[in-house]
A and B are shown apart, each in its own frame.
Chain A
Amino acid sequence: MRQFVAVLIAGVLATAGLLAQGAAPQDERQALTLRMIVLATSEDASAVLDRVKRGDRFDELARRHSIDPTAGDGGLVGRVDVSSLRESVRRALANVRPGQVSPVAQVATGFAIFQVVSDAPGTPTPINPVSFATIAGVGAVKFVPDIGGLPEAEALLREFPKGADWNTTPQGICQARQDSLSAGQDLFERFFAPVNAQVRESRPPFELMQAHLGLAQILAYQGSMARAIEHYSEAYRIAQASVAAAVPQVEEMLAVAHLHKAGMDSNVFRQPNDTCLMPGAPGVAYAKTADVDRAIELLTSFLARRPGDLEGRWLLNASHMARGTWPDGVPAADRLSSSAFGPSDAVPRFKDVAARAGLNVFASAGGLVVDDLRNSGRFDVVTSNFYSCGPVRYFGSNGDGTWAERSAAAGLRAEVGGLNLVQADYNNDRCTDLLVMRGGWEVAQRRSLLKNNCDGTFTDVTVESGLATPVTASQASAWADINNDGSLDLFVGNEDAKAQLFLNDGRGHFTDIAKSAGVDRQTFAKGVTAGDYDNDGFVDFYVSNYDGTNQLYRNNGNNTFTDRAVAAGVPGAGRGFATWFFDYDNDGWLDLFVTSYFMSVDDTARTYFDLPHNAPTMKLYRNRGDGTFEDVTTSTGMDKVFMPMGANFGDIDNDGFLDVYLGMGTPSYASIAPHALLRNDGGKRFVDVTAASGTGEIHKGHGIAFADLDFDGDEDIVAEIGGATPGDSHAMRVFENPGNGNDWIALKLTGVKSNRSALGARITVSVEHDGVARRMHRQVSSGGSFGASPLEQHIGLGPDATNVTVDVWWPSSGTRQHFTDVVANHAYALEEGAASLLAIERTPIPLGGGHK
């Protein structure tokens, strides 16, 4: 009996032990009030930790030994949001109760121990920025190394002698680019000429290695991958022989160069196919895989030196996708799970028809406008080009599902360069004009205002309009009528100068009133968007900045604005890029979306490997209707980290809820990551349906537009794909919407008293389905800040929509219109003040010209 009891007790204890191990609670506390002691070395930190454990007071030790500015306050940091902390600190703090002290954690300025003062919930308190920077996740982000030479090309552009007014004409900028690049390459090649062998031998190996890398990068910039690889390889050899610490980095550069070469040799940049999509389908491989094999070899070696490195693991998986051997070919420890990309059947597949449609424009990064620029009733396509010598290109619709280039006929031959494009009728002549923005990410370069002559041609009127000087670097601007005088004004966010607010005098001339308007702040602005977020009839602006807090400029109604970003709860996530106002939950109030752009493959990989992030996520802010917003990023599933650049929104399934498509990447050739199509589920959650939709393009996504190109009642997605370097140029993709069973309506608004483009007009479509009433709310705009959809609004109505009513409010004039018994599944022209809608006759055309 005693034996039995003993066994029973042993069993109970063992089970309790097992349960205790397995049931260690996940630390889900959101806010902690902390003290911290930072020491320079881990030995010092361990020594201080020992003293805490022996009973010495934490605050006294902080005062005496901490190298952090909080030392003077006994190490008191304040209340922090746990999710904002770097992973090493979060791990150290897990399950540390108030009064207890954490193990040592590595931080940016050294090594730290923490004492939890309180874990009571609450909003974070202001914290010394030094202390925050040292423990914040954002300070631990691993940035992707540049492979592809953009920094080298930019340095050459800066260094080379140029005329004083080199940046005042597009052609001047192109010339400077070409000259600096060829001169730089020339000098490097002379350095490597046989006659200079003795000079080279006298240089230390580190310098020689860097010289090889420099030339490799310049060659890679231009897409000369075979020659680039020669020099990357030589740098690799030197590193292996003499600069051991550089080996992993150079190994990675060489691997990525091989992968890029394989893609070019397999022609996937000019003729993209399913190998350009993530996840890769088994058996689908590049045509030429010899270089992929070499990349895999190098990445395997890289991972042996840096086990578990997320960037290495991610690139290894991407290489196997290019090889057609993913996922099984990847060693289990490094493998990305096939479930990482979401279900393969969430939505039907979109097919790329760009080539058949004549829209597979081969270009580097650039902007995109899809709109009816000839008042033909059909949508034309215009792209701009980040590469200084890359032309602005105009594709006119043939009306049969194909487009033909007519750039020269349109008078655009002289227009080169420009990262972003946006359209609006600035002179109210009912023809839509174009604004080309230049200098984004670079140095100041002149923009171009292209006046539409209403005859299929454009004239560059930048100088006459007052928009030519001062010359600034920008890719962010928004057209809006700020004073409701019926003319469109222009807010320009700059990267190297104060923001500009150009007031339109109604006669095609602009004056910068930013100073008196109170918006003349200098930030690194990457996105500007317009929207009347408080529904007071005066349009407001949101400025998304790469270098800190964003601005929400509330229009005071008297040509002045007040920044309310912090008070309204929309500061952004620190490195803002694309942004827009949209009513994602159809409650009549404009919500706000802003991306977070950390150039980090490591942090993006964490999204798919399902690991904790260091970088902050993009932000979705729901308008409360009281002048403030609620951060609903997490509750809507938007708490993801990507590398989003071009982006826009539309309704991919006509259910009435606006979906989002994000183009991805950075200039580096290592930044291979899929675009993301996020479907809005009932205004409550955004679900990643990329894999199923077949829109997970891995190359660099810039201007994005949603447009019903083939008039079949659903929005297709046009994506300008191409990187920042000529060697990363790529064909544009046109993803044809496979269709759905829901109803829709398209409304082309024209202002009469208000600006002709109808920018800022507010639309509400009410429908009934099965006796339940629904409303869809939209504002007339081109969508997001990087990629422009047609100003004609396509609105999904959900299934079997009856009793369709359209209400329009024109804030500039105060006009309100109400249309009842509207027949769904048609396009209508809607003029301000008119008594009725005018049906636009359109028959669906086969997208790509009839080869279904």
Chain B
Amino acid sequence: MTMWAFRLLVALLFLLAPVHARAGQRTKEYPVTGMIVSIAPAAKTFTASIQAIPNFMAAMTMPFEVRQASELQGLTPGTVVSFTLVVEPNTSYATRIAVVPYSNTEQDPFSANRLKLLSDIAAGKQGRPAEMVAVGGPVPDFSLVDQKRRPTSLSQFRGKVVVANFIYTTCALPNFCLRLANNFGVLQKRFAAQMGKDLVLLTITFDPTHDTPEVMAQYASQWSANADTWRFLTGPATDVERACRLFGVHAFATEGLMDHSLHTAIIGRDGRLVANIEGNQFTATQLGDVVAATLTALPK
């Protein structure tokens, strides 16, 4: 049995078997952190891919009930939340749900964020850049070149789920770019059956000067990426910058390296932005769980 199936089984057992809560046992509360996979306001539930709860539960994806549908307001897939899981004798529910805001104070993103602010102030911009796509909004088309030098546009994948991340191949900090790209290596295996048919992965460089298609092909070979279904995109600087701006990706050349933000974006079959996950503090499993939900989501 795969790890995921195992986890799902445990989750179901937990939910369906009141035997877990012995009669007479008092209510227990557990702090939980996880990534939203999907929300179902009508059913007053949300599904989250949660980290392990010490001495209670392994990391898994499972649905949680809330008392009021309003508690789900503002929650979108990919959002990291912290909440309290209340376990009573015959029921359980989540409460005090708070979005964990991404304000990465790790050295590199911290500095990139400041440089972005500076550039915006210098260019006279205020607030969120106009070009950045909001969650739920349609993602404009963009065209780049893949690792086999084929012109590749987002629009050619309409009807499939597209997941995109942003890297540069000479990144000095492997727990950033490399981890994001490696997440896709895990997705490529997990969703082997859906790759190309229902799911396409795009890894886009923000250093097109160095990361030519040939360099991207070499980088892609490290994960034995299928060039048709996991495309490594580069292109003219203006085209690359435009694609990056759509997802709030900014990168600054600094002393031979680049300070940059970290983004992984999920685009639904209808071309709308499902999630834009910042940072690297999530597992490939959590990302995959959100992708899985997006794959099975019914059209609105």
Residues of A within 8 A of B58 (CB): 43, 47
Q: Pick the contact of A130 from B113, B178, B253, B254 — CB < 8 Å?
A: B178
- Distance in angstroms between the alpha carbons of A68 and B185 in the assembled complex: 8
Interface string of A579-612 (1 = CB under 8 A from B): 0000000000000000000010000000000000
Residue B159 at the A interface, CB < 8 A? no
Interface size on A, residues (CB 8 A): 64
Within 8 Å of chain B (Cβ to Cβ): is A146? Answer: yes
> Which A residues are in CB contact (< 8 Å) with B103?
206, 243, 245-246
Binds B, one of A75-83, A209-217, A275-283, A480-488: A209-217
Check: B189 CB closer than 8 A to any chain A CB: yes
Q: A40 near B284 (CB under 8 angstroms)?
A: yes
Residues in A neighbouring B121, C-beta threshold 8 A: 184, 187-188, 191, 211, 214
Q: Residue A293 at the B interface, CB < 8 A?
A: no
Give the residues from 158 to 214 in chain B that come closer than 8 angstroms, CB to CB, to chain A. Answer: 170, 172-175, 178-179, 181-183, 185-186, 189, 209-210
Contact of B185 among A67, A249, A599, A666 (CB under 8 A): A67
**Which of B66-74, B104-112, B138-146, B227-235 participates in binding chain A?**
B104-112
| Contact in complex: A151, B174 (CB < 8 Å) | no
Verify if B298 is at the interface (C-beta below 8 Å from A). no
Q: Could you tell me which residues of chain A, from 46 to 64, have a CB within 8 Å of some CB in chain B?
A: 47, 64
Instruction: Assess whether A833 is interfacial by the CB under 8 Å rule.
Output: no
Given contact pairs A43-B59, A155-B115, A160-B122, A246 touches B224 in the complex (Cβ within 8 A):
no
B49: shortest Cβ distance to chain A, in Å?
11
Evaluate whether A546 and B256 lie within 8 angstroms (CB atoms) in the complex, with A134-B174, A214-B118 already known.
Answer: yes
Selected from A108, A141, A156, the residue in CB contact (under 8 A) with B179 is: A108
Judged by a CB distance under 8 angstroms, whether A90 is at the interface is: no
B255 and A139 contact, CB distance less than 8 A:
no
Q: How far is the CA of A146 from the CA of B255 in the complex (A)?
A: 10
Tell me whether B174 and A159 are in contact (CB under 8 A). no
Chain B nearest CB from A165 CB (Å) reads 19
- A760→B226 CA distance, assembly (Å): 51
Q: In the assembly, what is the distance between CA of A526 and CA of B256, in Å?
A: 10
A507-532 at interface with B (beta carbon < 8 Å)? 522, 524, 526
Residue of B107, B123, B256 near A159 (CB, 8 A) is B123
Are B122's CB and A249's CB within 8 A?
Answer: no
Known: A139-B173, A160-B122. A130 touches B117 (CB 8 A): no
Task: Verify if A150 is at the interface (C-beta below 8 Å from B).
Answer: yes
Flag whether B19 is at the interface (Cβ < 8 A). Answer: no
With contacts A41-B52, A67-B284, A130-B222 taken as known, whether A183 is within 8 angstroms of B122 at the C-beta atoms is yes
Contacts of A178 in B (CB 8 A): none
A143 at the interface (CB under 8 A from B): yes
| Cβ of B283 under 8 Å from chain A | yes
C-alpha spacing A214/B182, complex, angstroms: 33
* Most A C-beta atoms less than 10 A away, residue of B52, B110, B181: B110
Q: Which residues of B contact A64 (CB under 8 A)?
A: 2-3
Contacts of A160 in B (CB 8 A): 122
CB <8 Å contact, B119 and A65: no
CB-based contact B59/A108 at 8 Å: no
Most buried by B among A41, A130, A184: A130
Taking CB atoms and an 8 Å cut-off, the chain A residues in 10-69 that contact chain B are 40-41, 43-44, 47, 64-65, 67-69
Contacts of B245 in A (CB 8 A): none
CB-CB under 8 A from B3, the residues of chain A are 64-65
* Complex contacts, A130 vs chain B, CB 8 Å: 178, 181-182, 185, 222-223
Q: C-beta contact mask, B46-89 vs A, less than 8 Å → 1, else 0? A: 00000110000011000000000000000000000000000000
- In residues 248-263 of chain B, which contact A (Cβ within 8 Å)? 252-256, 259
CA distance A292 to B58 in the complex (A): 49
**B114 beta carbon closer than 8 Å to chain A:** yes
Docked-complex contact B178 and A133, CB < 8 angstroms? yes
| A249-B111 Cα distance, complex, nearest whole Å | 11
Given A43-B59, A143-B173, A214-B118, 18 more contacts at CB 8 Å?
A109-B175, A146-B111, A150-B254, A151-B111, A152-B118, A155-B115, A155-B118, A155-B252, A183-B122, A191-B121, A210-B117, A213-B114, A214-B114, A243-B103, A245-B105, A246-B103, A441-B256, A526-B256
A-B contact pairs, 25 of them (CB 8 A): A41-B283, A43-B58, A67-B186, A69-B223, A109-B178, A109-B179, A110-B179, A130-B222, A139-B173, A154-B253, A155-B115, A159-B118, A180-B122, A188-B121, A210-B114, A213-B114, A214-B114, A217-B114, A245-B105, A246-B105, A246-B110, A249-B107, A496-B209, A524-B256, A599-B255
The 4 closest A-B pairs by CB, nearest first: A40-B283, A108-B174, A139-B174, A245-B105
